[in-house]
Chain A
Amino acid sequence: MSAQLKITNLHKRFGGLVAVKDVSFNLHPGEVVGLLGPNGSGKTTVMNMISGALTCDAGRVNVNGVDLTRMKPHRVAKHGVARTFQLVRPLPTLSVAENVLLSLAFGRKRHWGREARDLVEEKLAFVGLAGRGDEQVGNLTYIDQKRMEMARALASEPSLLLLDEWLAGLNPSELRIGIDLVQHLQGQGMTVLLVEHIMEAVRALCSRCIVMSAGEVIAEGPSAEVLDQPVVIKAYLGDDHA
Chain B
Amino acid sequence: MEILLVIIIGLLYAAGIYMILRRSLVKLIIGLILLGNGANLLIFLLGRIVKGHPPIIGSTEKALADIYADPLPQALILTAIVISFGLQAFAIILVKRAYKVVKTDDLDEMNATDEDI
- Whether chain B is bound by chain A comes out as no
